Chain A
């Protein structure tokens, strides 16, 4: 595995941890307000974005690993 692919995988793992942390948080059920709803929606969006970026980095790392292996074999 190339350094670039390894870095990308580690970055993806970091983003997965961030997503898990975001998913574990809650604003509780006692307060109700539009501001709270907006904050909760942003929290969900951020978690989803972190998962998406992590997935893309993992795909990129796979592709980079494969491309690098091909380049070395030629």
Chain B
């Protein structure tokens, strides 16, 4: 069961509402079952009664006729419900397609509004023209070199069992003061694989924050230029001992997803897979040489902030977060995506991703701090 997920693989889109279709099929069967009962009841003949005894009854005898009529009505209702569910499954698919396409424009309008608030005419013009990466670059100006300090926390390495499910991996994305987590596993003598988990934006400040996972880095990544958070991820990987020959599996939420995509495409390491949730990937490429899975909520504004999505080699899973209308924070939260990841584990989209073994390895988490040069 894919449980209402919209899965886009390179070259195709299919909306699976197969739980609804399965229910519709079950209801059609229910209609046939009730029809069979109706047939049995309509054939029942009442035994001959003694009129004298019947006359003494305190409660009138129940007639089968109204029950038979009710059963006939139930057959019609069940058939009608089955048809309604079939139609609902089909319309749900259409509505979700429409919702995805209709969110694109408001998201770009949001960026325009943001730039208007900032008051930069050149940025607003770029945004109006739909070129989000140019707008981000104009807004950012010349950021200059990034000075970032990365430190292992919690006394360095700790033993860990590798996460093997999509949900298990999303659940390991760090938050707060330790935005990067690197796990290393020896899969054969001398052969190492690394799992790199990257947090999303921690500080929404622009140009004044000491946290490299801030809005400035967001804009830099969307603009396609170097970002302080990107420098931090590379530094943490280097400190954790990740080598260029290592196969690396990246997992990131929000800005962390965009970072994961950028590092994966950098060619600096051998990319094993990329898993992103709620990431503003926009035109970020995915070469298709490794499995890439992007999960995005249709009511989450962030995935669209990098502009219209270009066809890439990644598999995309989209679904509504189930959050209340306009609760954009819940729709974008890591917890919300964790819940969706559990559904993805049960869906066909899971097949497009590696099967990891639950081997033992070592984990290190890192803090990161921007230092002005």
Contacts and interface: CB of A to CB of B under 8 A. Distances in A.
Interface of A: 2, 4, 7-8, 10-11, 14-15, 17-18, 21-22, 25, 27-33, 35-36, 38-39, 42-43, 45-46, 49-50, 52-53, 56-57, 59-60, 63-64, 67-68, 70-71, 74
Given A46-B74, A46-B78, A18 B30 contact: yes
B196 to A, nearest CB: 30
B77 A45 contact: yes
Contacts of A15: 34, 37
Given A11-B40, A70-B53, A35 B91 contact: yes
A17 B26 CA distance: 13
Given A42-B77, A53-B70, A53-B74, A18 B320 contact: no
B339 to A, nearest CB: 10
Nearest to A72: B47
B176 to A, nearest CB: 29
Interface of A is mostly: helix
B12 interface: no
A50 B34 contact: yes
A42 B44 contact: no
Contacts of A56: 62, 66-67, 70
Given A18-B34, A33-B92, A57-B41, A70 B62 contact: no
A42 B62 contact: no
Interface stretch (B80-88, B140-148, B184-192, B235-243): B80-88
Nearest to A54: B37
Contacts of A11: 37, 40-41
A2 B46 CA distance: 9
Nearest to B339: A30
Contacts of A39: 81, 84-85, 88
Contact of B74 (A8, A27, A36, A50): A50
Contacts of A30: 3-4, 319-320, 322, 343
A60 B67 CA distance: 10
